[in-house]
């Protein structure tokens, strides 16, 4: 599995856009990039997943360049409730794959 590297922490203010970049230099052809969010003492929650280019859902956008060696999770107009740990994971395409969590990014949103 490709190792992921992301910032340990980030600070932002309400209403700002937050971009969290993750590097995964050894990503394989069949790997997908997946992001999870975790609040303290709660289970991780799936945010978004993509293979290349850009993916957008009601919560976030995921930007993946052509070489796929990095990805950027974009959270538009964050609020205090977006304070959480965000994990970038590389997941092989085939099923029944365990999620390998690295060190996530602790995002703190202030008023």
**Min separation Cβ 96 and other proteins, Å:** 4
Taking the C-alpha atoms of residue 11 and residue 109, their distance in angstroms, rounded to an integer, is 6
Positive or negative, the Cα torsion across 93, 72, 19, 56? negative
Ramachandran bin of 77, using left for φ above 0, alpha for ψ from -120 to 50, beta for the remaining angles: left
Binding mask 32-71 for other proteins (x = CB under 8 A): x-x---x--xxxxxx--x----------------------
Instruction: Please select the residue that binds other proteins; options are 13, 19, 69, 100, rule is CB under 8 A.
Output: 100
Among 72, 73, 83, 80, CA closest to 107: 83
Helix (H, G, I), strand (E, B) or coil at 63: strand
Question: Between residues 16 and 91, which has the closer beta carbon with respect to other proteins?
Answer: 91
8 counts as binding other proteins under rule CB under 8 A: no
Instruction: Please select the residue that binds other proteins; options are 87, 88, 105, 107, rule is CB under 8 A.
Output: 87
By the criterion CB under 8 A, which residues form the site for other proteins? Answer: 32, 34, 38, 41-46, 49, 87, 91-104
């Amino acid at each position: 599995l490709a190792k992921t590297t992301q910032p340990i922490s980030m600070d932002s203010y309400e209403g700002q856009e937050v971009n969290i970049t993750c590097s995964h230099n050894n990503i394989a052809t069949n790997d997908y990039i997946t992001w999870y969010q975790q609040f303290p003492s709660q289970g991780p929650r799936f945010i978004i997943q993509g293979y290349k280019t850009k993916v957008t859902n009601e919560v976030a956008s995921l930007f993946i360049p052509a070489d796929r060696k990095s990805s950027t999770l974009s959270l538009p107009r964050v609020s205090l409730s977006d304070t959480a740990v965000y994990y970038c994971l590389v997941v092989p395409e085939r099923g029944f794959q365990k999620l390998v969590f690295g060190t996530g990014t602790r995002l703190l949103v202030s008023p």
